[in-house]
Amino acid sequence: MIGDIMNSAKKTSDSLDKDEDKLPVGESLGQDPVFDSLRKRGHRITAQRETILQIFREQPHGEHLSAEELHAKLLERGSNVSLATAYRTLKLLSSLGLLRELDFAEGHKHYELKQDTLPHQHIICTGCNLTLEFEDHFLEEAGQKIGSRYNFEVIDAQFKIFGLCPNCKLKRR
Amino acid sequence: MIGDIMNSAKKTSDSLDKDEDKLPVGESLGQDPVFDSLRKRGHRITAQRETILQIFREQPHGEHLSAEELHAKLLERGSNVSLATAYRTLKLLSSLGLLRELDFAEGHKHYELKQDTLPHQHIICTGCNLTLEFEDHFLEEAGQKIGSRYNFEVIDAQFKIFGLCPNCKLKRR
DNA sequence: ATTTATGCAAAGTTTTTGCAGGTTG
DNA sequence: CAACCTGCAAAAACTTTGCATAAAT
């Protein structure tokens, strides 16, 4: 049988939030686990990285951002971070396992904050790109077990189902 | 517990095969299921498509090709198919569910022939891009069940594990 | 015949990089 | 102040497209 699938599917869409304050560098960054991970490997905490992280934290759970979308949000809030830096930061945070890098099939990647507490997987319509999410900690567990079988240190386990949504099933002749 | 994982992992690499004969158009294409799928939707059987399909069929199970790699193999065997056609064909065959479109994380897609009999999933090292495969029909089944729960017609279920291979685990300080 | 596919070259996207100047620890 | 980061603009990598010609049904 299948692991427990919490029926928490919802549509993926962009949320247009107002701009919010960005902290000045170094404000009460006491024990932030993300920043700790950065420091631990000799990376630095910059204003740009703080703002980017903040944006990801403000994203509703399950939303993901492309590099362009992140950049747009940065500009929206008056933070003049360059697109190049957005790309560099996304790559860095992903390599540290702090962001999750998602590939659907539209030619660019999406990123979301990694939160071990809320694994979630995707089911994608190849007809209209509708993306639903579902959660199944059984799958997460399977990833860990398979990884350790091959002596891998697992960073992320992704289960993706491609298919046709009810609508596109009909339209398809 | 986990479904049966057949320990059939192997490295992904390029096999340099010699060029082989390509059939002239229309030779004994009797009931080829791939060509049937094409015809059924009004697409045509061209020499280019035949050669491309043949290349995928000659690939050892588990190997995947990028558009560039496919194109290289086409040239190797003297088939002057343009890169544009390679891209167009890959897209077409994938949309028909005949090829499986794989995204690892290196900026381009890979494709492999879809064979329902031999599902396989990937575990990818984010340090060195080493890719191992494993099979687990339990996961395949899970994909079907989850898909039908959302009323999707499932085309493909992919389970991908990202992590650090034993080597990169060490090198990483 | 009619419709679909191909090749070419040009254009479009997405991502990376070199380098000079700025910032962090 | 040494090492690291950023912005900018240019380049690279990857993919799509317009159009005239060629091929398939």
The correct CATH number of A1-114 out of 3.20.20.70, 3.40.190.10, 1.10.10.10, 1.10.8.620 is 1.10.10.10
- Tell me the HSE value of A156 on the side-chain side, using a 13 A CA sphere: 25
| DSSP per residue, B115-161 | -TTS--EEEEETTT--EEEEEEHHHHHHHHHHHHHTT-EEEEEEEEE
- Position B169 scores a pLDDT of 82
Q: Kindly state whether A23 is in contact with chain B, defined as any CB-CB distance less than 8 angstroms.
A: no
Residues 51-80 of A with CB under 8 A from B: none
Closest C-alpha to A135, from B77, B149, B93: B149
- Position A21 scores a pLDDT of 39
Q: How far is A153 from chain B (nearest CA, A)?
A: 5
Beta strands B153-164 and B121-125: pairing type? parallel
Tell me the whole-structure pTM to 2 decimals: 0.76
pLDDT band, very low/low/confident/very high, at B12 (cuts 50, 70, 90): very low
pLDDT band, very low/low/confident/very high, at B62 (cuts 50, 70, 90): confident
Q: In this structure, how many other beta carbons lie within 10 angstroms of the beta carbon of residue A164?
A: 22
* CA atom of A88 to C1′ atom of D8, Å: 15
Q: Which of A21-25, B16-20, B86-90, B102-106 is the most confident on average?
A: B86-90
Q: How far is B147 from chain A (nearest CA, A)?
A: 7
Q: Do residues B35 and B23 touch, judged by C-beta distance below 8 A? A: no
Rounded CA separation A68/A55 (Å): 13
* Closest CA in chain A for residue B161: A157
Write out residues in chain A with pLDDT < 50, as ranges.
Answer: 1-29, 173
Beta strands A109-113 and A99-103: pairing type? antiparallel
pLDDT at residue B66 is higher than 90: yes
What average pLDDT is seen over chain B?
80
The architecture CATH gives domain A119-173: 2-Layer Sandwich (3.30)
Q: Kindly state whether B47 is in contact with chain A, defined as any CB-CB distance less than 8 angstroms.
A: no
Q: Where are the domains of chain A?
A: 1-114, 119-173
pLDDT band, very low/low/confident/very high, at B117 (cuts 50, 70, 90): low
Rounded CA separation A50/A34 (Å): 10
Question: In degrees, to the nearest 5, what angle opens at C-alpha A58 toward C-alphas A53 and A62?
Answer: 100
- Position B172 scores a pLDDT of 58
The three-class DSSP label of residue B15 is: coil
**For testing contact with chain B, the best of A37, A152, A156 (most B CBs within 10 A):** A152
Higher pLDDT, B29 or B120: B120
Tokens of B151: 């009323």
- Tell me the HSE value of B135 on the side-chain side, using a 13 A CA sphere: 13
Tokens of A143: 């990833």
- Position A71 scores a pLDDT of 97
Protein-contacted bases of chain D (C-beta within 7 A): 3-10, 13-18, 23-25
| DSSP per residue, A29-50 | -TT-HHHHHHHHTT----HHHH
C-alpha dihedral (B51, B52, B53, B54), degrees to nearest 10: 50
- Position A136 scores a pLDDT of 79
Which of A85-94, B114-123, B150-159 comes out lowest in average pLDDT?
B114-123
- Position A119 scores a pLDDT of 65
Q: What is the mean predicted confidence (pLDDT) over B46-56?
A: 97
Q: Is B152 exposed, middle or buried (0-12, 13-18, 19+ CB in 10 A)?
A: buried
Tokens of A107: 């030619």
**For testing contact with chain A, the best of B124, B139, B146 (most A CBs within 10 A):** B146
Give the residue whose CA sits closest to D13 at C1': B107
pLDDT band, very low/low/confident/very high, at B85 (cuts 50, 70, 90): very high
| DSSP per residue, B49-73 | HHHHHHHHHHSPTT--B-HHHHHHH
